[in-house]
Structure 1
Amino acid sequence: MLSLEEISDRLEIQQLLVDYSSAIDQRRFDDLDRVFTPDAYIDYRVTGGIDGRFPEVKAWLKDVLPNFPAYSHMLGNFDIRIDGDTATARTICFNPMVFDSESKQILFVGIWYEDELLRTDPGWRMTRRVEVKCFDKLL
């Protein structure tokens, strides 16, 4: 049986994962400062992106994502494992992305987010995020 503290931690972590997607989808990249630790490692190479520390990746997102007219993230299968003040999460993401509004080509991306998290004074934060490919299909 889960304790109230573990239930609370799981809900906070799940909300953090949703906060990431909301920040990206609404193009509010500064909101990511409340998702990641300043030294977090992020790896988007499986979907053609970069890997590196949070400040570098955040700048890259601000530069690259405006090239896509529309995109969204839908998350599911939250598998959250808590061990004291650290945690891991594995979450599936369905991420359709419009390539260009003229041709209306859409890339359907399915990935797993594999995350490591740390309890900090302001709350849970991601210290590591790695994308693992499930599928992609251009229509």
Structure 2
Amino acid sequence: MMSQQEMSDRWEIQDLVFHYADLIDSKNFDGLREVFTGDAHVDYSAFGGSVGDLEETIAYLKQAVADEVFPNSQHLNANVQVALDGDRASGRVMCFNPMEMALPDGGTQVFLLGLWYVDEYRRTPAGWRIARREEEKSWVFNTPDFMQL
């Protein structure tokens, strides 16, 4: 049977995962400082994105996911799996990610990504934070012809 602390930790980590998705979809990239540790490592290379620390990641997202490139997106998270180990935890989170992309001809195209986040979490004085996040590619559907995913 789970202890109250374990249940609380799991819920806080799950809420952290969902808060990340909301920040990304609302393009509040500076808010990512609320969900990652200051020394976080973020690896978006599975889909051709950046690999680096938190500040490099925020700068990358501000450019790569700007409104004029991706007007709309949804990061729908499910199957949040968490393994707790004291003040550290690891996790694997499923993400279904529809993206609307602006096309060179002025139109838009919606494509879909299926991925997993492979995470490491750390309890900090401010609560649980993501210390490491790596995307793991599962599948892609309907990507624009000029994209190489």
Q: Supply the AA of the counterpart residue of 2:86.
A: G
Matched residue SS, 2:27: coil
Question: How many angstroms does 1:47 deviate by?
Answer: 1.1
Q: Report the CA distance between 1:34 and its aligned residue.
A: 0.7
Match of 1:77 in 2: 79
Amino acid at match of 1:7: M
Name the residue aligned to 1:6. Answer: 6
Question: Counterpart amino acid of 2:31?
Answer: D
CA-CA distance at 1:104 after TM superposition: 2.9
Displacement of 1:80: 0.6
Q: How does 1:1-139 map to 2 (within 5 A)?
A: 1-66=1-66, 67-100=69-102, 102-138=106-142
The runs of 5 or more residues in structure 2 that have no matched partner are: 144-149
Unaligned runs of 5+ in 1: none
Q: Secondary structure at the match of 1:27?
A: coil
**Residues 98-135 of structure 1: CA deviation (Å, up to 9, x unaligned):** 11274331120000000001000000011100000110
- Structure 1's consecutive aligned runs of 4 or more residues displaced over 2 angstroms after TM superposition are 101-104
Higher helix share: 1
With normalisation by structure 2, the TM-score equals 0.90
Q: Distance in 1 between matches of 2:94 and 2:46?
A: 14
Q: TM-score, normalised by structure 1?
A: 0.96
- Letter in structure 2 aligned against 1:124: W
Per-residue CA deviations over 1:36-74 (Å, capped at 9, x if unaligned) read 011100000111101011110111101111121111110
The one-letter code matched in structure 1 to 2:23 is A
Measure the CA separation in 1 of the matches of 2:24 and 2:134.
Answer: 16
Counterpart residue identity of residue 108, structure 1: L
